Amino acid sequence: MVHPLLPLFVFLGAVLLEIFGFAWVGGAVGALATVALVVITAAIGLWIFRLQGVAHWQRMQQMLQRGELPALGLLEGWLLMLAAVLLVVPGFFSDAAGFLLLVPPLRAALATWLLKRRSVWVAAARRGGPDASDTIEGEYRQRQDDDTGRLDDHRDR
């Protein structure tokens, strides 16, 4: 069971890590150079994202035209968008994570791993008990209301 405050602690940890990164880099190269590095890495990362995004979109269209199910491609597309968000967020550690997601083999490996994990979750959720099935048994009968003469549907559950 995951603690309900875990996402808050992870977020705060990430913010503190980015602040530490700014202080460390700023102490080494100066404040102006630190700001310039953040802007330059965001611009380069978004440019690479744009190039890869267009190429990825074209591959997805080709897969759909061939009648293939692009589950892995869709997940990779989401990871590309996450990379763009991480590159726009100011910080060196988020930029590093964003650049890692822009590396196609790493992104494909992560997407494959996530897809395998998801299929395990779906299989576990679909598996009920030993007698689980998609059939719901019940009775159905139609009665006529004596006062109005209308048919009244009743389902016994």
Averaged pLDDT of the chain: 81
What pLDDT band is residue 142 in, cutting at 50, 70 and 90? low
51 CB-contact burial (10 Å; exposed 0-12 / middle 13-18 / buried 19+): exposed
Q: What is the pLDDT of residues 7-27, one digit of tens each?
A: 899 999 999 999 999 999 999
Q: What is the pLDDT of residues 76-128, one digit of tens each?
A: 888 988 998 898 888 999 999 999 998 999 999 998 888 887 654 555 455 55
**Per the domain annotation, does 127 fall within a domain?**
no
- Look at residue 124 in the predicted model and tell me its pLDDT: 47
**Per the domain annotation, does 67 fall within a domain?**
yes
Q: What is the pLDDT of residues 115-128, one digit of tens each?
A: 887 654 555 455 55
**Per the domain annotation, does 144 fall within a domain?**
no
Q: Pick 136 or 107 by higher pLDDT.
A: 107
- Look at residue 147 in the predicted model and tell me its pLDDT: 66
Alpha helices (H) along the chain: 6-29, 31-65, 71-88, 92-101, 104-126
**Per the domain annotation, does 130 fall within a domain?**
no
- Look at residue 103 in the predicted model and tell me its pLDDT: 92
- Look at residue 45 in the predicted model and tell me its pLDDT: 84
Q: In the chain, what is the greatest distance between 2 CA atoms, to the nearest angstrom? A: 91
Across the chain, the runs of DSSP E, i.e. the strands, are 139-144, 151-156
**Per the domain annotation, does 157 fall within a domain?**
no
Q: For residues 31 and 26, what is the distance between their CA atoms, to the nearest angstrom?
A: 5
Share above pLDDT 70 across residues of the chain, in percent, rounded to a whole number? 75
Q: How many domains does the chain fold into? A: 1
Residue 38: domain span: 6-117
**Per the domain annotation, does 98 fall within a domain?**
yes
Average pLDDT over residues 20-37: 92
If you ran DSSP here, which 8-state letter would residue 127 be given? -
**Per the domain annotation, does 94 fall within a domain?**
yes
**Per the domain annotation, does 112 fall within a domain?**
yes
